[in-house]
Structure 1
Amino acid sequence: MIELDGIDVSYGNIQVIWDLDLHVSEDDAVVSIVGPNGAGKSTLLKVMSGLHPVDDGRVTVWGSDAADLDPTDIVERGFVHVSEERNLFGDMTVRENLEMGAYTHRDGLEDTIREVYELFPILEERSDQLATSMSGGQQQMLAIGRGLMAQPKILALDEPSEGLAPQITDRVFEKIEAISEEITVLLIEQHVNRALKMAQRAYLLENGRVVREDTGTGLLESDHVKEAYL
């Protein structure tokens, strides 16, 4: 489980998150975080990943204080973050990118790659192709597949539909739904309607604060969410 307890976060002199509480459990299928651009959503994932420190409060990763862990420790414990930028190794092949995702879990490498190929058949078809030569949708699938190679307990996806055509977005969401049957998905997504429909629990983040926590359906039926985001 990941727990954020009363955290404050800043970039230099600019505070971006205030006294924020949030938790994600392996018992969840999908937890969505929605809100406007600049609300601090991506910063939360960086904090959970150990990529950005907190000024106050506490982040707990399966019982361990995140302040005592480095990003590799957090991945090994089961939290894997697929960033909005994807950060693929463009001059490496699809297969090589997947292998890089398994750097903390080399045992059973071939079995894990086979599972990823079953979820994303296009990756097997393009296994020898350079990542940089793939389409945007294929690169997104590769980024998610590489995240799965680390055998996560919680897979955090930051704007997985960013820049994708509607038809490709539909396919990506189908894959996310399939993943959530086995692995907890923490989802940040610009398509608020879809993100909330998928979520068992959801957080509405505005101006660096959680203004509401509810079921996905509960937030979807909120007048404020309807007026501001749908």
Structure 2
Amino acid sequence: MIEVDEIDVSYGSIQVLWDLSFHISEEDRVVSIVGPNGAGKSTLLRVMSGLHPVDDGTVTAWGADVATLDPSEVVKRGFVHVSEERNLFGDMTVRENLEMGAYTRRDTLEETMREVFELFPILEEREDQRAESMSGGQQQMLAIGRGLMARPKILALDEPSEGLAPQITNRVFEKIDEISEEVTVLLVEQHVHKALRLADRAYLLENGEFVTEDSGPALLESEHVKEAYL
């Protein structure tokens, strides 16, 4: 579905990603990318979303070069990126935020809304509440739910556990596991153990380069990962 081929990416004169290649196929359930702060994980998702250009190499989404597409077209093709900042509309209600997520799929809005409410019952309970008044965990569920409203083929989640208490983090990861039964999840996360435990395939990103690739369970047993992150 998506092929990242030998990309170099910079911010001005500072190179952030170096010769990165990987792919996500229809058979993948969860693909995890782990690594320290500043490794380039969020930049990679921005590139795949069409929000940041590459200096060299290509990102191909369902046969089209992402560089030639508007970010909204990337969403329509099936790649939806839930950013670390969540970017909710704070003065709008839960329902209104979810409706905004379906702007490319108005034909399935009510059906998808029911599916999101089944996955996150708290959102239905709070559908008339303003997003800014919700707890951090509820806001994260709303951000994920809004991403699902576009009916993605790949749902990219950037640090979904950021700022959440351990108990809420566990609930979010349970929901991610549930989502991955229907939608391929690209998971960028610093909770290395949780991210690798879910992953069919995983990559360790350090200093803008992939250090290693393996199944999630295999990377959990890697001495480098154990010493550096566990």
Secondary structure, in 3 states, of the residue corresponding to 2:107? coil
Question: Which residue in 2 is equivalent to 1:206?
Answer: 206
* Residue pair 1:26, 1:183 contacting (<8 A) in 2 also: no
**Tell me, what secondary structure is at the counterpart of 2:106?**
coil
Show CA shifts across 1:96-145 (max 9, x none): 00000000000021110000000000000000000000000000000000
What residue in structure 1 maps to residue 37 of structure 2? 37
SS in 1 for 2:39: coil
Residue 21 of structure 2 corresponds to residue 12 of structure 1: no
Q: What is the TM-score with the length of structure 2 in the denominator?
A: 0.99
- CA distance in 2 between counterparts of 1:206 and 1:142 reads 30
The Cα of 1:166 is off from its aligned counterpart by: 0.7
Aligned to 2:195: 195
Cα deviation 1:43-81 (Å, max 9, x = unaligned) = 000000000000000110011011110100100000000
Aligned position for 2:171: 171
Contact 1:5 1:21 in 2 (8 A): yes
Matches within 5 A, 1:175-186: 175-186=175-186
CA distance in 2 between counterparts of 1:101 and 1:27 reads 25
* Aligned alpha-carbon RMSD (Å): 0.5
Identity across the alignment (%): 80
Secondary structure at the aligned position of 1:72 is classed as: helix
Give the equivalent residue in structure 2 for 1:83: 83
Describe how 1:1-230 pairs up with structure 2 within 5 A.
1-230=1-230
Structure 1 unpaired stretches of 5+: none
Residues 26, 154 of structure 1: 8 Å contact kept = no
Per-residue deviation, 1:26: 2.2
Distance 1:37 1:195 in 2: 15
Determine helix, strand or coil for the equivalent of 1:20.
strand
Q: Distance between the aligned counterparts of 1:194 and 1:128, measured in 2?
A: 32
Partner-residue secondary structure (3-state), 1:162: coil
Counterpart residue type for residue 142 of structure 1: L
- The letter for the 2-side match of 1:171 is R
**Could you tell me how far apart the structure 1 residues matched to 2:99 and 2:213 are?**
37
* Separation (CA, whole Å) in 2 of partners of 1:147 and 1:28: 19
The 8 Å contact of residues 158 and 189 in structure 1, kept in 2 or not, is answered as: yes
The number of aligned residues is 230
Q: Deviations over 1:183-225 (max 9, x none)?
A: 0000011110010000000000000001111100111110000
Runs of 4+ in 1 over 3 A off after TM superposition: none
Whole-Å separation in 2 of the counterparts to 1:224 and 1:54: 29
Structure 2 SS opposite 1:108:
helix
* 8 Å Cα contact 1:60-1:66 kept in structure 2: yes
Q: For residues 217 and 170 of structure 1, what CA distance do their matches in structure 2 show?
A: 18
- Whole-Å Cα distance in 2 between the matches of residues 145 and 36 of structure 1? 27
**TM norm structure 1:** 0.99
Secondary structure in 1 aligned to 2:175?
helix
Structure 2 gaps of 5+ residues are: none
